[in-house]
Structures are given as C-alpha cells and as structure tokens.
Amino acid sequence: MIHSKEHLLVIDADSTSSAWLVEHFAAQGFEVTAAATPESCAEMPANQRPDVIIGDLMPEGVAWLTDFLEPFEPRPPVLVLTNPISTDHILETLRAGAADVVSKVALDISALDEALRRQLERVRLFKQSKRYRQDLERTVSEFKYNLDELRADQRAGRQVQMKMLPEKGLRFGNISIDHCIKPSLYLSGDFFDYYHIDQHRVGFYFADVSGHGASSAFVTVLLKNLSNRLQRNIRRQSSDDILHPDRLLARVNSELLETDLGKHLTMFAGIIDTEKRMLTYSVGAHYPMPVFCEGKDCQFLEGRGAPVGLMAQANYKIFEKPLPPGFSIIIVSDGLFEVLDASSLDAKEALMLERVRASGHTIGELESVFQLDALSEIPDDIAIVSITESLV
C-alpha cells in the first residue's frame, strides 16, 4: 500500500538516471526529491526529511549519510543502487550502513520496487509503534491525572467522613467512650456514633456497610443524617425512635431500601441507662458480637437479627443486659478478624476474647494488643469502639 505522504530522496549524480527514478516513484504516488550528492541532505529543511533514501552511492557516501542520519527518528534507511555488484563491494556497502543493495546494471524494476517496499514497511512499523507509544503515554498521563483527581476527591471525602464521627474520648458522667478507625481505602464502610440522650441515658450504634469505597461511604452519610434527625426529634418530642434500638434499626432498614443503592449493612444499636443499670440493645446481623466485660470476665453478648437494608419486613428484637459496676463494652467490625492469626472463626473469636481480657479496654491498649499500628496493609476496614464505666 502506497502512503501518499511518504517522501523519497533520490541521490544520483547522473541527471538522466535521477530523472527516471524520480518519474518512476512519483508515478506510484510518492513525494520525490532529487539530489546530486549525499551532502545535499544537510541543506534539506526538517519538514522535507525523507522516509527512504535511494541513491547511486559509494561506501564512503553511505558512511557519511549513516553518520548524518544518526539523530533522525526514524532514521531513513539507505537503499543503494550500485554498478559494481561484486560480493566484496556489497559487503562493504552494507557495513557502511546501507539497508539494502540493488544492482543498477540491467536494473530489475520489480526488484527495486520490492526492496523499497521492504524498507518502507520497516519505516511504517516504526512510525506506527511510535504513535502507539505516544498514544499510550498520553493515555497513561490522562489516567494519572484522573487518578490524582480521584485521590484528591477521596481524601476530601475521608476528611468529611472523619468529621462526621463523634469526638474521641467523650465522657458521659462516669462513662467514657472512645474509638479508632482504620479504613482499608481512603473511605470507610465502618461507621458509628454515640450521643447523650438525657441525664441517665447514652445512645450508640455501630454499623458495617457492605463493600468498600465511595458507595459504602455514602451510606454512612445517610446513617449520620438519620441519627441526627432522630436526636432532634426526641428534643422536639415528635418521635422517640432513638430511644428504641429495634426501631432505630427498622428506620435505617426502610430508608436504606428506599435509596435503591443495592447496599446493606450489619448494625448494633444500644441504650445505656445508668439509673436502671441496664443495657438495651438490638442486633442487625452484626458480627462479631460486642464483648461485654466485668473486670477480666469477658464474653460476647447474645443476640441475633437480620441484616439491615435487605428485607422490607425485617423485624428486630430487643435484648437486655444488666450493667455491673465498672463494666466495659468493646465493639469491633469484622475487618479485625482479617488480621487475627487464627485458622477458623471459632479460633478467631477465642483469640479476640483473649486479647481483650489482656488489655485495659482503652482504645490505646486495644490497638496495642491487636497490633493495629504495625499493619502495613489492611484488607478490610477496621473500627473499634470502647465503652467503659469508671468506678471513681
């Protein structure tokens, strides 16, 4: 296939031979320029650089061209038409840098055209490869730009998400609540909140949204918005859903289904009543269950319930646990199990209880016993909430 923009340079001191070659190649659709000597290439403007040079050249002329053309990309191949066709002369011409040699004596036009076709094919392949490389570099550059934009958005989203979390180390009378969260990506699907209801009651919930990334993080915004509305409602005395963990889970379930995001979550919600000394809670398939401790006696709370956001008619039960003096409640997301060195879920549960017992139940000590700061990679979001009552 002839490419109309391909440029040939004919170098021949014989004007008759040069004119014939120019006419022959021009008739095939090439742009052809003629020159008498190799040194004429130095005077050619950059926009007229040839794709292939065809010339009646001696080895020293080929060598000069080879040196001159070295910086060119692609370097135009030199197709030599030669009168002496001895083996020694051909070898000398090729060593000087010629790409091919065709006998000028009794010139075989088909052989010349075939030799030119081979050289042009090499040039075309090089140009095509260069275009592919440039396209790839441009694509990589665009991808890097888009990735940087995405990372910036993710970082901004993470800052917003972290600001939605409650303050660390909050105290409600003798009760202290603290937390840590370690997202596997910029954004987390783990979310929790705790809030003062009245003089004797503290509310809290812990949620683990399915999946990772922005869509899961969006659900945490929904949770925060809903809990804020329900807290305002209790102050306005327009609704007391926030006082009932089962109704809180039911509200989250219905609102999440209405979003049609295809997301569901596990959830644990509770109310601590320090006057009645009672923990009232409801479970939405949260796993592992929170650990309840009285001193060093630590056990998983009991209770079961359906995931939140999967079934329109999900029912959630109320469970109660008496609160001994100095109790602790440790709530974790299932991402913690991903970093526990145990072979089965039963073994992971046993190891978790063992490490909780070995800690003082503060966030700092829990991070230490679970070695969270030493993790180089986090396969899943990890969040911990610690609720402890001081005896002082």
User: Do 112 and 34 reside in the same domain of the chain?
Assistant: yes
Query: Is 105 contained in some domain?
Result: yes
Token reading at 337: 């199990």
User: Do 183 and 53 reside in the same domain of the chain?
Assistant: no
For every residue of 332-378, DSSP letters joined together read E-GGGGGGS--SSHHHHHHHHHHHHHHS-SSHHHHHHHTTGGG-S--
42: three-class secondary structure by DSSP: helix
| Whole-number Å distance between alpha carbons of 133 and 176 | 60
HSE, CB side, 13 Å, CA atoms: give it for residue 1. Answer: 3
HSE, CB side, 13 Å, CA atoms: give it for residue 102. Answer: 23
User: Do 325 and 183 reside in the same domain of the chain?
Assistant: yes
Q: What single letter denotes the amino acid at residue 127? A: K
Token reading at 217: 């993080």
User: Do 172 and 118 reside in the same domain of the chain?
Assistant: no
Query: What would the pLDDT profile of 289-319 be if each residue is shown by its tens digit?
Result: 999 999 889 999 999 999 999 999 899 999 9
User: Do 326 and 262 reside in the same domain of the chain?
Assistant: yes
> CATH code at 69?
3.40.50.2300
| 362 C-beta neighbours (distance < 10 Å), count | 15
Number of folded domains that form the chain: 2
| 82 C-beta neighbours (distance < 10 Å), count | 21
pLDDT tens digit at each of 392 positions of the chain: 444 579 999 999 999 999 999 999 999 999 999 999 999 888 887 777 899 999 999 999 999 999 998 888 888 999 999 887 788 888 999 999 999 999 888 788 999 999 999 999 999 999 899 889 999 999 998 888 888 887 777 777 677 777 888 888 899 999 999 999 887 777 777 899 999 999 999 999 999 988 766 777 788 888 889 989 999 998 888 989 999 999 999 999 999 999 888 889 999 999 999 999 999 999 999 999 999 999 889 999 999 999 999 999 899 999 999 999 999 999 999 999 989 989 899 999 999 999 999 998 999 999 999 998 887 778 788 999 999 999 86
> CATH code at 176?
3.60.40.10
Give the phi and the psi of residue 261 in degrees, each rounded to 5.
-85, -10
For every residue of 192-243, DSSP letters joined together read EEEEE-SSSEEEEEEEEESS-HHHHHHHHHHHHHHHHHHHHHHHHTS--GGG
Query: Is 157 contained in some domain?
Result: no
Give 162's contacts (C-beta < 8 A, 6+ positions apart): 181
pLDDT, residue 309, reads 93
- Domain end point (choices 113, 134, 155): 134
User: Do 354 and 234 reside in the same domain of the chain?
Assistant: yes
**β-bridge partners, 33:** 9
7: three-class secondary structure by DSSP: strand
| Whole-number Å distance between alpha carbons of 132 and 118 | 21
User: Do 179 and 220 reside in the same domain of the chain?
Assistant: yes
pLDDT, residue 1, reads 46
75: three-class secondary structure by DSSP: coil
Range of the domain at 339: 165-389
Residue 113's H or E segment, with its range, is helix 109-164
User: Do 176 and 130 reside in the same domain of the chain?
Assistant: no
Query: What would the pLDDT profile of 315-340 be if each residue is shown by its tens digit?
Result: 999 999 999 999 999 999 999 998 99
User: Do 324 and 245 reside in the same domain of the chain?
Assistant: yes
Burial 128-151 (b: 16+ CB within 10 A, else e): eeeeeeeeeeeeeeeeeeeeeeee
Q: Is the pTM of this model over 0.75?
A: no
- Domain end point (choices 77, 111, 134): 134
User: Do 62 and 190 reside in the same domain of the chain?
Assistant: no
User: Do 66 and 199 reside in the same domain of the chain?
Assistant: no
Query: Is 373 contained in some domain?
Result: yes
| Whole-number Å distance between alpha carbons of 327 and 309 | 32
Query: Is 144 contained in some domain?
Result: no
Q: What single letter denotes the amino acid at residue 340? A: L
Token reading at 264: 């569901």
